[in-house]
């Protein structure tokens, strides 16, 4: 039930953010709808994998999908600056949750059943702190709020990069058979290529608005969901390897 509620909140947030975009996060009108649809892709992929192959791994992936759904397309804009700041902190909490989930997924993959512990919860500390700050965000001085947002963004970005690095390390350490069975090659290609294209767009080496190249991030949830829904083949491989 909590996961279903989280899915509903993510979808409603994404629709509301598209209809009333935030003044703090400026998104070119030409890519506003595509980026919002990118967020929906993240959510759909998360739900698809979770429903097709329920496990602790796909629950983590669902958190990644929910975080991506809220992140891509921006936050909600309202008439009250204080209320909008509250929405912005919730947006940052979801972003941090999604990036933490990517790192969590990378550390767990391809193991299907892993218990949650203190180390796992530590990955989501930034998201938890940001969520706790939502009620007080409207009352914070602008300089303090902006500083906290900068810290949360930096921490979330670091976790996202770390998640990609963990997947790359696992690819290098895996045998050819493991790379094929666990679909590590397409996962790593999607993560690396989308990150490089986004970076090149940000520094002006690619044509068009930089935000348009962020759409390549859509390959990540699709390929990860595809890999997670075919985990039975990997499970059979693990069983044979242990015998």
pLDDT value at 62 more than 90: yes
- Indicate the pLDDT class of residue 115, thresholds 50, 70 and 90: low
Q: Which two tokens stand for residue 95?
A: 């972003």
pTM recorded for the entire structure: 0.92
Question: How many separate domains does the chain show?
Answer: 1
pLDDT value at 233 more than 90: no
Distance CA 14, CA 121 (A): 26
What pLDDT shows up at residue 237?
46
Distances (CA, A) of 152 to 67, 147, 188: 14, 9, 25
pLDDT (mean) for 65-76? 97
Can you give the residue range of the structural domain that contains 237? 2-242
pLDDT (mean) for 157-161? 95
> pLDDT per residue over 162-190, tens digit each?
999 999 999 999 999 999 999 999 999 99
Q: Which two tokens stand for residue 41?
A: 């892709």
pLDDT value at 241 more than 60: no
What value does the CA radius of gyration of the chain take, rounded to a whole number of Å?
18
pLDDT value at 117 more than 90: no
> pLDDT per residue over 131-142, tens digit each?
999 999 999 998
What pLDDT shows up at residue 191?
96
Angle value at C-alpha 169, between 92 and 94, nearest 5 degrees: 10
Residue 29 sits in a domain whose CATH number is: 1.20.1070
């Amino acid at each position: 039930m909590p996961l279903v509620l989280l899915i509903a909140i993510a979808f409603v947030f994404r629709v509301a953010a598209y209809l009333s975009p935030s003044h703090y996060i400026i998104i070119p009108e030409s890519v506003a709808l595509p980026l919002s649809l990118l967020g929906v892709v993240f959510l759909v992929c998360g739900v698809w994998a979770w429903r097709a192959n329920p496990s602790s791994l796909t629950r983590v992936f669902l958190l990644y999908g929910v975080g991506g759904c809220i992140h891509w397309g921006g936050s909600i804009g309202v008439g009250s600056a204080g209320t909008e700041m509250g929405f912005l902190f919730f947006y940052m909490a979801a972003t941090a949750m999604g990036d933490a989930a990517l790192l969590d997924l990378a550390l767990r993959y391809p193991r299907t059943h892993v218990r949650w512990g203190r180390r796992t919860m530590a990955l989501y500390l930034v998201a938890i702190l940001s969520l706790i700050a939502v009620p007080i965000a409207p009352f914070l001085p602008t300089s303090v709020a902006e500083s906290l947002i900068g810290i949360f963004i930096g921490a979330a970005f670091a976790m996202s990069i770390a998640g990609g690095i963990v997947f790359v390390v696992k690819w290098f350490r895996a045998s050819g058979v493991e790379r094929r069975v666990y679909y590590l090659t397409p996962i790593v290609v999607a993560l690396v290529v989308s990150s490089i294209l986004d970076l090149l767009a940000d520094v002006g080496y690619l044509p068009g608005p930089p935000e348009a190249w962020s759409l390549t991030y859509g390959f990540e949830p699709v390929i990860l969901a595809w890999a997670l829904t075919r985990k039975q083949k990997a499970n059979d491989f693990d069983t044979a390897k242990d015998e």
